[in-house]
Structure 1
Amino acid sequence: MNRHPLRFLIAIAAVVVLAGCSQFVGDNRHNVPLNKELVARLAEIGSSPAQPMVIRVYKQSSELEVWKRTNSGQYALLKTFPICKWSGALGPKIREGDHQSPEGFYDVTPALMNPKSAYWLSFNVGFPNKFDQAWGRTGTNLMVHGDCRSVGCFAMTDEGIKEIYALARESFRGGNRSFQLQLLPFRMTDANLAQHAASPHAAFWGNLKQGTDAFDRTKQPPAWDVCEKKYVFNPPVGGLDPAGACPVTPSTVMANF
Structure 2
Amino acid sequence: MLTKLARTGMLIAALGIAGCTESSVKDFAPQYANRELPQKILASMRAKDMDKGAPIMARIFKEENTVEIWKQKRNGRYDIIATYPICKWSGKLGPKYTEGDRQAPEGFYTVRPAQMNPKSSYHLSFNIGFPNAYDKVNGRTGANLMVHGACSSSGCYSMTDPQIEEIYAFGRDAFRGGQKEIQIEAFPFRMTAANMARYRNDPNYNFWKMLKVGYDNFEITKVPPKVDVCEKRYVFNQVAADGQAFSPAGACPTTTQPDALKVAYTEYQSKYDAAFNAALGGAKPAPKASILGTKEAAIVADWSKRRARGERVPIEPPSLNSDGSVTETSRMGRIDSPLGRKMAAIDAEKAAKQKAEEEKTAAVAAAKAAKEAEKQRLAEAKAAKTAQPESTATIVAPAPAPEAVTQTAADDGGVMSKMKKRLFGMFGG
TM-score range, shorter chain: 0.7 to 0.9
Pick the aligned partner of 1:165 from 165, 168, 177.
168
- Cα drift, residue 184 of structure 1: 0.5
**1:192 corresponds to which residue?**
195
- Cα drift, residue 250 of structure 1: 4.8
Assess if the C-alpha contact under 8 Å between 2:122 and 2:148 holds in 1.
Answer: yes
Farther-moved stretch of structure 1 (226-235 vs 244-253): 244-253
**2:143 corresponds to which residue?**
140
Is residue 2:217 matched to residue 1:214?
yes
Pick the aligned partner of 2:47 from 44, 47, 60.
44
Assess if the C-alpha contact under 8 Å between 1:74 and 1:220 holds in 2.
Answer: yes
Larger Rg: 2
Instruction: Quickly say closer, same or farther: Cα 1:46–1:131, change in 2 above 3 A.
Output: same
- Cα drift, residue 247 of structure 1: 2.9
SS class of match (1:181): strand
Structure-2 separation of matches of 1:175 and 1:72: 17
TM-score of the superposed pair, with normalisation by structure 1: 0.86
Residue-by-residue CA offset, 1:75-106 (whole Å, 9 max, x unaligned): 00101101001000000000000000000001
Tell me the C-alpha RMSD between the 2 structures. Answer: 1.5
- Cα drift, residue 71 of structure 1: 1.6
**2:250 corresponds to which residue?**
244
Aligned residues: 228
Q: Which has the higher helix share?
A: 2
What letter corresponds to residue 50 of structure 1 in structure 2? Answer: G
- Cα drift, residue 173 of structure 1: 0.3
Assess if the C-alpha contact under 8 Å between 1:113 and 1:123 holds in 2.
Answer: yes
Q: Which has the higher strand share?
A: 1
**1:128 corresponds to which residue?**
131
**1:117 corresponds to which residue?**
120
Structure-2 separation of matches of 1:56 and 1:107: 12
Residue-by-residue CA offset, 1:17-73 (whole Å, 9 max, x unaligned): xxxxxxxxx732211122211111111211122101110000001000000000221
What letter corresponds to residue 227 of structure 2 in structure 1? Answer: W
Is residue 2:74 matched to residue 1:68?
no
Structure-2 separation of matches of 1:239 and 1:166: 35
SS class of match (1:107): strand
Assess if the C-alpha contact under 8 Å between 2:146 and 2:156 holds in 1.
Answer: yes
Matches of residues 8-47 of structure 1 in structure 2 within 5 Å? 27-47=30-50
Is residue 2:83 matched to residue 1:80?
yes
Is residue 2:109 matched to residue 1:98?
no
Structure-1 separation of matches of 2:56 and 2:199: 30
- Cα drift, residue 197 of structure 1: 1.1
Unaligned runs of 5+ in 1: 1-25
What letter corresponds to residue 246 of structure 2 in structure 1? Answer: L
Assess if the C-alpha contact under 8 Å between 2:239 and 2:256 holds in 1.
Answer: no
Structure-1 separation of matches of 2:245 and 2:175: 24
Q: Tell which has more relative contact order, 1 or 2 (C-alpha 8 A, sep 6+).
A: 1
Structure-1 separation of matches of 2:203 and 2:52: 40
Instruction: Quickly say closer, same or farther: Cα 1:239–1:146, change in 2 above 3 A.
Output: farther
What letter corresponds to residue 149 of structure 1 in structure 2? Answer: S
**1:228 corresponds to which residue?**
231
Structure-1 separation of matches of 2:52 and 2:95: 32
What letter corresponds to residue 250 of structure 2 in structure 1? Answer: G
**1:89 corresponds to which residue?**
92
